[in-house]
Amino acid sequence: MEPSKHRYKKMRTDELIVLAQSDDIKALEELLRTEQRNVFATFSYLTHKRQDVADLTQEALLRVAQNIKTLKDPKHFKSWLNQIVTHLFYDELRKISRKPDIISIDAETDNETGFSIKNILPDTKCKPAEKCISSELEEIIKDKIRSLPRQFRIAIVLRELQGLSYDEIATATQSSIGTVKSRIARARTKLQDGLKNYI
């Protein structure tokens, strides 16, 4: 089955979607493979509990797999996928607010105070991009984003990480475009302020 697997790897997302919708399980698997990192990163910046990220990613992928046939236009896949992500995130928030003592026990210990600012300065010449910033800076950025109010957090992550338009974010979060616009602008200002000592 190696050569056919290779064939799937070369396909575009919309091609994979159409095949997956016609019960091609290998196409579906490849689609999930290409999207999983994205979903994983999105949850990493949304939720506070690290162990939840993998579970949420798994659950989102499962929902994609189960409901792929309900997606009418493959062009809307990204927006559709992020509606699933947003729903799961909101569900998670509801769960957390019901049992508040659990978060305090499992809360991450992220206060890494032992680093110097020089260590976290980005190297502008390096490639690929993920090597450019240190893990410390990545953790700081995660921390700053996760400490934003949830609506700001979700708007900035859907915009910057998922590259959704204001219109798509408005749909996913059930708010107006004007609200999305101001949430993103304010989230950026807050983050820039919070990170100015590190970048």
Q: Site residues for another protein, window 22-51 (CB under 8 A)? A: 25, 28-30, 32-33, 36-38, 40-41, 44-45
Q: What is the DSSP letter of 13?
A: H
> Among 46, 84, 154, 191, which residue sits at the site for another protein (rule: CB under 8 A)?
191
Q: Please give the helix or strand (H or E) that residue 37 lies within, else none.
A: helix 25-46
User: What spatial distance separates the first Cα and last Cα of the chain, rounded to whole Å?
Assistant: 48
> Among 57, 82, 86, 171, which residue sits at the site for another protein (rule: CB under 8 A)?
57
Query: Token pair for residue 107?
Result: 């809360």
**C-alpha span between 36 and 57 (Å, rounded):** 7
Q: Binding to another protein by residue 194, rule CB under 8 A?
A: no
Q: State the burial class of residue 41 (Cβ atoms within 10 Å of its Cβ: 0-12, 13-18, 19+).
A: middle
Binding mask 135-174 for another protein (x = CB under 8 A): x-xx--xx----------------xxx---xx--------
Least CB distance to another protein at residue 198 (A):
9
> Among residues 27, 18, 34, which one has the least CA distance to residue 69?
18
Residues that bind another protein in the complex, under the rule CB under 8 A: 25, 28-30, 32-33, 36-38, 40-41, 44-45, 54, 57-58, 61-62, 65-66, 122, 128-133, 135, 137-138, 141-142, 159-161, 165-166, 181, 184-185, 188, 191-192, 195, 199
